[in-house]
Amino acid sequence: MLEPNAATTRIATWNVNSLRVRLPHVLQWLESNPVDILALQETKLNDPDFPIDEITSAGYKVVYSGQKTYNGVAILSRQDAADVLTEVPGLDDPQRRFLAANFGDIHVVNLYVPNGESPESDKYTYKLNWLEHVRAYLEGALAAHSRVVVVGDFNIAPDDRDVYDPEAWRERILCTTTERNAFRGLLDTGLQDTFRRFNDAAGNFSWWDYRAAAFRRRMGLRIDHILSSAALIERCSECVIDTVPRGWERPSDHTPVVATYT
DNA sequence: ATGGTAGAACATCTA
């Protein structure tokens, strides 16, 4: 086990499903997991309503791009963000799902990928188009930066190991071959699924439906991911899914994923 | 049984 040192950087992602409700969970989690960077999705807050003071008091800077009721992304960080980007270039999208910034020499991209609803839905077409524009953005980002980390709620289970019942989910939303190919398209820009560098096993999940006691019954999907560029993956010592907060009172339906770089 | 729960605009929408 590596000793923590000044050169260690920990980056985490967590879909909180309303930061208004989950701010205490975030602050409690940060107390025992003082990561350098925490990317949040589904904050569901207008920017003027963002809880800056509470996050500043916890020792973090923050940048955010929110809207009322739906979506919304934020990045908490120990050091200041630079070159903040809130739009996917070339995509005219009122939904606040994208936030990119530099933290030192690391380019961080925080994604809340559209759910898609079902393969027959217009939202599915929107999801695939959104992912194609992000893929194009990442090609440029990887050409400009050596250290790139892409984190968030991807709303895609990359393969059958990431699904509690693969046959029941065959070609359903989050698991269709087309979505999985789009995920591979993101990796093909020069990124690796960081969790899979350390763990080949099935049954590791980051999301469990609120319904039908899915968490207790271990009926989950791995849809929250950390993708690392080659320069970062060779410095990555660990990537874990922290299932503890999913068991807390009034939890988000997602739980944090954390990568450690040395 | 297309069910079930959660969060938000608190009537439906989204997930």
Residue pLDDT, tens place only, A99-141? 999 999 999 999 999 999 999 999 999 999 999 999 999 999 9
What gap in Å lies between CA A196 and CA A209, rounded to an integer?
A: 23
pLDDT of residue A1: 47
Name the active-site residue from A36, A60, A64, A112: A112
User: Can A124 be counted among the known catalytic residues?
Assistant: no
User: Could you tell me the distance in Å between the CA of residue A252 and the C1' of nucleotide B6?
Assistant: 9
A36, A60, A153, A162: the active-site residue: A153
Summarize pLDDT for A179-234 with one digit per residue, the tens.
999 999 999 999 999 999 999 999 999 999 999 999 999 999 999 999 999 999 99
CA atoms within 13 A on the CB side of A207: 21
Give me the pLDDT at residue A5, please: 60
Tens of pLDDT along A76-110? Answer: 999 999 999 999 999 999 999 999 999 999 999 99
The reported pLDDT for the residue numbered A121 is 97
**Is the confidence at residue A38, as pLDDT, over 70?**
yes
Go through A66-79 and write b for each residue having 16 or more CB atoms within 10 A of its CB, e for each that does not: bbeeebbbbbbbbe
Comparing every residue's Cα with the C1' atom of nucleotide B7, the nearest one is A18
Q: How far, in Å, is the CA of A69 from the C1' of nucleotide B6?
A: 13
**Strand B, nucleotides covered by protein (CB < 7 Å):** 4-9, 14-15
CA of A143 to C1' of B6 (A): 41
- Model confidence, pTM: 0.97
Residues close to nucleic acid strand B (C-beta < 7 A): A 17-18, 20-21, 44, 68-70, 114-115, 117, 123, 155, 210-212, 250
CA of A15 to C1' of B7 (A): 13
Angle at A202 between CA A201 and CA A208, to 5 degrees: 130
Q: Which residues pair with A151 in a beta bridge?
A: A110, A226
